[in-house]
Amino acid sequence: MSRSEISQRLSSRVNRVDTRCETSAGGPLPFAGLPQACSLQPEWRRCGKPNCRCVRGLLHSPYWYLRWRECGRQRRQYVPRERVDAMQVALEQRRRLRPPAWALRQTLAELRHLEKEIHDARHD
Ligand SMILES: [Zn+2]
């Protein structure tokens, strides 16, 4: 394979990675602003009324909280029921996107470096 073919293939590869990085990193993602490493957890409750079913162990349907650690302390934030679905989607998206997006940026930096080296070498 000739040098210019290699260079061509490298360029197209860089462009593809570039596009994926933009998709992953561009625009406000739904998990922007969420604490690092937080998780969504349900809590079942007793309401405190003496004759309620929850006294017999049938606890009330879950209240959802985001839980995370901050400076070694457990923190939590109530998530209203109508936002639980969206929050689950956001957390799932973060789980899926974060590590690949980081790895892609590393790869992209390496590829750009290689591309520049090939380009410079051609003019020696
Ligand atoms: Zn109750």
Residue 50 Cα to ligand 1 midpoint, Å, equals 8
Tens of pLDDT, residue by residue over 67-107, are 988 888 889 999 999 999 999 988 888 777 766 666 777 77
Supply the range of the domain harboring residue 17. 3-122
Q: Give pTM, 2 decimals.
A: 0.52
Task: Give buried/exposed letters for 54-92 (b at 16+ CB in 10 A, else e).
Answer: eeeeeeeeeebbbebeeeeeeeeeebeeeeeeebeebbe
Residue 40 Cα to ligand 1 midpoint, Å, equals 23
Residue 49 Cα to ligand 1 midpoint, Å, equals 6
Q: How many domains does the chain have?
A: 1
Residue 57 Cα to ligand 1 midpoint, Å, equals 9
